């Protein structure tokens, strides 16, 4: 059974500067591609991923990530 989704992770792409601090905080949820563009691998956040997602949102220096 799929885990219950408790939040959605969103990226405000124009804001993102591609430093990858979020990727370091939550490598299972996102990665930088070969061009340095952030790719969200998981946007439906389960309870299990919530702490990592929150940390990624917190460490982003330009507030490009949002949990809704
Ligand atoms: S930390 Fe913020 S600015 Fe840096 S790659 Fe992640 S979303 Fe983009």
Please give the chain's pLDDT, 68 residues, in tens: 678 999 999 999 999 999 999 999 999 999 999 999 999 999 999 999 999 999 999 999 999 999 99
Instruction: Give the pair of three-digit tokens for residue 14.
Output: 């124009």
Please tell me the pTM assigned to this model.
0.94
What is the pLDDT, as a whole number, of residue 47?
A: 97
In whole angstroms, what is the distance from residue 10 CA to residue 28 CA? 15
What is the pLDDT, as a whole number, of residue 2?
A: 74
Using an 8 Å Cβ cutoff, are 20 and 38 in contact? yes
Q: Is 68 exposed, middle or buried (0-12, 13-18, 19+ CB in 10 A)?
A: exposed
> What does CATH list as the number for 5-67?
3.30.70.20
Query: Is the CB of 60 inside a 6 Å radius of any atom of ligand 1?
Result: yes
Task: Give Cβ neighbours of residue 16 (< 8 Å, ≥ 6 apart).
Answer: 37, 38, 60, 62, 64
List residues bridging with 5 in a β-sheet: 46
Atom 1 of ligand 1 has which residue's CA nearest to it? 60
């Amino acid at each position: 059974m799929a885990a219950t989704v408790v939040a959605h992770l969103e990226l405000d792409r124009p804001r993102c500067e591609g430093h990858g601090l979020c990727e370091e905080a939550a490598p299972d949820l996102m990665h930088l591609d070969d061009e340095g563009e952030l790719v969200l691998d998981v946007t439906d956040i389960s309870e299990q991923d919530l702490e990592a997602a929150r940390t990624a949102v917190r460490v982003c220096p330009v507030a490009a990530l949002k949990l809704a």
